[in-house]
Structure 1
Amino acid sequence: MQRRAIVEVLIGNYRTVLQHIDADSSVRAAREKAAVMTAEILSAVGELDQDTKADSVAARLGEGLGPALHMMVQALRVQAGALGVPAAAVDDFGGFAGQYEQIEKVAAHHGNYWEVLLYGHLPKDRSTMYDLTSCLELRATSEDNRVLDALAHVRRYKTSRDCVLERHEDGRPLGISFATLNWQKAVRDKNRPGVFAQALRGDGVRRAR
């Protein structure tokens, strides 16, 4: 039910964005108006090229220079306004970040990728949980210290704005194979190899457990 609700919201948002840019939209009308205005400008300056100097432009256009520039400014304003309509629609839905977050939630339901759904419940308590681990004496119940090593590694970045690298200071790779494959995928930055997503800091978005 949750996935269905999210999908329905995304579909509604996408429909609204499309309505702003389809054939009968204000964006299309603005683009056509800008095209007409641009054609008028090109007609006025048709004999000029990009290498023409400013004084030559003034000499050739004479009294027509001012109106041509005014028309160009108007065309640019119309075009800029048209481009801003879809972006404004996305802003009304919570911005691009909000839309990407909803898409991630839908993707999380696909293939049992449930870990990512926990992100929204962690931010308020994350810093407190890090502080708690500093007060507790944690010990491994076996010779496998990967969990404690990973925790110590991430805690070093808690108050830092630097990204959390997947390697220790001495170059050794940080072992997180104790986590599920989905969780290992979730904590890695898809766009930056060798870096954990959102720094895994106390003020970040993701953290391995």
Structure 2
Amino acid sequence: MLVKAVRMQAAGVGSVRQVVERAGGAAAQLADIEEVTAYQHDNHELLIQQFFKADRSTVLALSAVLRFKATSADRSVLDALQHALTYWSKTRDFIPGWDADGRRLDLGFASAN
């Protein structure tokens, strides 16, 4: 639903609201998320991976065009995004966890899953 919402954003916020409403509304979406989370505990990421894998190039293309700005001194998310963008054209399940200088990326913001 998130990827659909991002695609629909180009048509305006009203379109995004229509997509959410067609899916049962925000309350229904939240209830579904909570149900999955309760059922899978901390493994709910595994359930959504299949939906995002096909849209990887779209998300990376969008990320390459948008200008992100850190809201704090911590730039770890932006650094990780920039690192992922360097592997945009590669086809692999995983990318290295270190940058071109051999420094380990700070991925403390991400879950172990």
SS in 1 for 2:54: helix
Q: 1:154 aligns to what?
A: 84
State the aligned residue count: 74
Q: Deviations over 1:115-173 (max 9, x none)?
A: 11111111232211110011111110000000000011111111124652111111111
- Match 1:113 to one of 32, 38, 43: 43
Q: 1:141 aligns to what?
A: 71
Change in Cα spacing, 1:161 to 1:122, as seen in structure 2 (3 Å) is: closer
Unaligned runs of 5+ in 2: 1-38
User: Whole-Å Cα distance in 2 between the matches of residues 156 and 149 of structure 1?
Assistant: 11
Whichever structure has more helix as a proportion of its residues is 1
- When the two chains are superposed, the root-mean-square deviation of aligned CA atoms in Å is 1.8
Tell me the TM-score normalized by structure 1.
0.33
User: Whole-Å Cα distance in 1 between the matches of residues 83 and 42 of structure 2?
Assistant: 28
Q: How does 1:161-180 map to 2 (within 5 A)?
A: 161=91, 164-180=95-111
Of structures 1 and 2, the larger Rg is shown by 1
- Structure scoring higher RCO (CA < 8 A, sep ≥ 6) equals 2
Give the % identical residues.
Answer: 34
Q: Where does structure 1 differ by over 4 angstroms across 4 or more consecutive aligned residues? A: none
Unaligned runs of 5+ in 1: 1-108, 187-209
- Match 1:124 to one of 36, 43, 54: 54
Deviation of 1:110 (Å): 4.8
Tell me the TM-score normalized by structure 2.
0.58
